[in-house]
């Protein structure tokens, strides 16, 4: 089955690429999850749109990624979250969307939530390590401080 990827799929490809996958994988996972569309003749316009959007938000080379990493690692992120009565456990967890919003609020660049990786779920107050993949060769390490709201 030929598909056009609309999102980055690890081990398969990047948005805008045409890939050949098994029918079941495409029909049962990629298409329903919105990660791919069926490749048709009219899909060429969609590929061009996806590639333009990707290039607009993409980091331009390793040099630019290193500059962004330096800017990110200099930021001090603090996220206020609702906690239990003792102030240690969170109701829910801190998500990648909230981390991306905290980076933007602190004056950092706009980050894609899919580029943010935490070491497990953040469900307690305190300092937590977060990785941001800016480029295949450049990863920024951030420390997020979660405080009671």
Distance CA 68, CA 60 (A): 10
pLDDT at res. 17? 86
pLDDT at res. 55? 66
Q: What residues contact 97, with CB distance under 8 A and at least 6 apart?
A: 113
Model-level pTM? 0.65
Distance CA 148, CA 134 (A): 29
Domain residue limits, the chain: 2-57, 61-148
pLDDT at res. 58? 58
pLDDT at res. 47? 79
Q: Which is the CATH superfamily of the domain at 2-57?
A: Ribosomal protein L9, N-terminal domain (3.40.5.10)
pLDDT along the chain (149 residues), means of 10: 89 88 96 92 77 65 85 91 92 93 90 88 93 88 93
pLDDT at res. 14? 83
Q: Which fold has domain 61-148?
A: Ribosomal Protein L9; domain 2 (3.10.430)
Count of C-beta atoms within a 10 Å radius of residue 22 = 9
């Amino acid at each position: 089955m030929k598909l056009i990827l609309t999102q980055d799929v690890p081990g398969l490809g990047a948005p805008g690429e045409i890939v050949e996958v098994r029918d079941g994988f495409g029909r049962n996972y990629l298409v329903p999850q919105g990660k791919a569309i069926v490749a048709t003749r009219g899909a060429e316009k969609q590929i061009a749109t996806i590639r333009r959007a990707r290039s607009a938000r993409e980091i331009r080379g390793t040099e630019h990624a290193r500059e962004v990493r330096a800017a990110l690692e200099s930021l001090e992120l603090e996220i206020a979250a609702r906690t239990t009565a003792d102030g240690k456990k969170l109701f829910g967890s801190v998500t990648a969307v909230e981390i991306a919003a905290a980076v933007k609020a602190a004056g950092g660049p706009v980050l894609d939530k899919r580029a943010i990786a935490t070491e497990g779920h953040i469900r307690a107050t305190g300092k937590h390590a977060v990785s941001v993949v800016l480029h295949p060769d450049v990863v920024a390490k951030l420390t997020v401080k979660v405080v009671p709201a």
